[in-house]
Amino acid sequence: MKGLYEVTVDRGEDIRQVLSDYILEKNWEEVFIVGAIGSIIDSAYNAPADNRIPMNLVTVECPEAAELLSFHGEVMKRERMDENLARVYRDKTSPLFIHIHASCAAGGGAMYGGGLVKGRAFRSIRIFMIPL
């Protein structure tokens, strides 16, 4: 597909760091993440703790290896970020705002998901994206 790019996160690599490095190298302003396939480990996910706005988030950790079931989102330069999201996502360590929603299945059928806070590739992860 024309305009579709792929980056591979190798075993043990940090997903957000690999994405950030790749997008900064390409000098893209904004990217839509179409999906990904692979396995993840040491991941954590944010989800709303209640029904209030602004959101109050709770983080759930998944320390074991798991298969990705869904993975999509947006990445943009921080200055393009919506101010409401900026109030919720306060991490300013990257020049990019990485906003990924993901879900995974771990051993025994345990399911995890929400806004991806962290994670590393267990075996590998192929991420597919389109620059906007």
Burial profile 98-123: b = 16 or more Cβ within 10 angstroms, e = fewer:
bbbbbbbebeeeeebbbbbbebbbbe
pLDDT at 68: 98
**pTM for the full predicted model:** 0.91
Residue recorded with tokens 């790749």: 22
pLDDT at 43: 98
Tell me the Cα Rg of the chain.
Answer: 14
pLDDT at 88: 67
pLDDT at 90: 67
Q: pLDDT tens, 45-75?
A: 999 999 988 788 899 999 999 999 999 999 9
Give the pair of three-digit tokens for residue 30: 């904004």
In the predicted model, residues of the chain with pLDDT beneath 50 are none
Contact (Cβ atoms closer than 8 angstroms) between residue 30 and residue 77 = yes
How far is Cα 58 from Cα 69, in angstroms, rounded to an integer? Answer: 21
Cα–Cα distances in angstroms (integers) from residue 112 to residues 58, 105, 128, 130, in the given order:
13, 7, 21, 26
